[in-house]
């Protein structure tokens, strides 16, 4: 599926490597008029975002891996500047917190904590130190969860912080 900030969201099928993520966006009618591209999530919620010229890579497992992301479920999500970046991140992490079974401490405690910090940022009360705390939460979660849910959550949060930094604080 191709969804998000496109004019014609759709379900389609392409041979791997025959199309780039930019071409997929164009196939779905292109970016909504009057908006600016923030990035493309190449493989569903668990896949870290591609930004800038990264969206010109072919849609393959290898090319995505080389850019520190994955094809995952194949659900391509186009993100524009109409929704604050922090809202997208918060909704993603909140989803992972809701889906957590609660078995391991990193997910049970880390994801709700990250969600609270992101909500604070979303309300316009965020500070640089909040990003530092979120990054520390990622460090405490990395390779310390019983399943891939927590690993995926910290991975996307970490990549958003690394790629966007203090832009996340802009609401």
Q: How many domains does the chain have?
A: 2
Same domain assignment for residues 101 and 74: no
What is the torsional sign of CA 144, 149, 150, 153? positive
For residue 67, the enclosing domain spans 2-80
Same domain assignment for residues 109 and 164: yes
Same domain assignment for residues 122 and 159: yes
Let me know: does 30 contact 6? Beta carbons within 8 Å: yes
Q: Which residue pairs, CB below 8 angstroms and at least 24 apart, start in 68-71?
A: 68/159, 69/42, 69/43, 69/159, 70/42, 70/43, 70/46, 71/42, 71/43, 71/47
The β-bridge partners of 6 are 31
Same domain assignment for residues 99 and 164: yes
Let me know: does 57 contact 21? Beta carbons within 8 Å: yes
Of 80, 101, 119, the last residue of a domain is 80
Of 58, 80, 102, the last residue of a domain is 80
**CA 23, CA 44: separation in Å to the nearest integer?**
17
- In CATH, what number is assigned to the domain containing residue 96? 1.20.1440.230
| Chain-centre distance for alpha carbon 86 | 11
Angle at which helix 85-99 crosses helix 111-120, to 10 degrees, equals 160
**CA 19, CA 79: separation in Å to the nearest integer?**
19
Angle at which helix 148-164 crosses helix 85-99, to 10 degrees, equals 170
Same domain assignment for residues 10 and 38: yes
Tens-level pLDDT at each residue, the chain (171 residues): 999 999 999 999 999 999 999 999 999 999 999 999 999 999 999 999 999 999 999 999 999 999 999 999 999 999 999 999 999 999 999 999 999 999 999 999 999 999 999 999 999 999 999 999 999 999 999 999 999 999 999 999 999 999 999 999 998
Same domain assignment for residues 8 and 63: yes
Same domain assignment for residues 9 and 62: yes
**Which residues are within 8 A (CB) of 10 and not within 5 positions of it... i.e. 6 or more apart?**
1, 2, 27, 28
Which phi and psi angles does 129 have, rounded to 5°? -60, -25
Same domain assignment for residues 40 and 95: no
Of 31, 50, 80, the last residue of a domain is 80
Classify residue 28 by its DSSP letter. T
Say what the pLDDT of residue 147 is: 93
- In CATH, what number is assigned to the domain containing residue 32? 3.10.20.600
Q: What is the pTM of this model?
A: 0.93
**CA 76, CA 64: separation in Å to the nearest integer?**
12
């Amino acid at each position: 599926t191709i969804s998000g900030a496109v004019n014609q969201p759709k379900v389609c099928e392409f041979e791997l490597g025959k199309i780039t993520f930019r071409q997929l966006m164009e196939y779905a009618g292109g970016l909504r008029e009057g908006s600016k591209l923030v990035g493309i999530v190449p493989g569903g919620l668990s896949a870290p975002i591609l930004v800038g010229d990264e969206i010109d890579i072919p849609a393959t497992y290898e090319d995505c891996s080389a850019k520190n992301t994955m094809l995952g479920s194949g659900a391509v999500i186009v993100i524009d500047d109409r929704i604050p970046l922090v809202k997208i991140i918060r909704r993603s992490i909140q989803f992972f917190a809701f889906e957590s079974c609660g078995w391991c401490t990193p997910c049970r405690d880390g994801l709700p904590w990250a969600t609270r910090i992101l909500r604070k940022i979303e309300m316009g009360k965020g500070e640089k130190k909040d990003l530092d705390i979120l990054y520390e939460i990622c460090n405490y979660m990395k390779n310390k969860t019983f399943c891939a849910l927590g690993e995926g959550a910290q991975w996307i949060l970490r990549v958003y912080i690394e790629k966007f930094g203090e832009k996340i604080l802009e609401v």
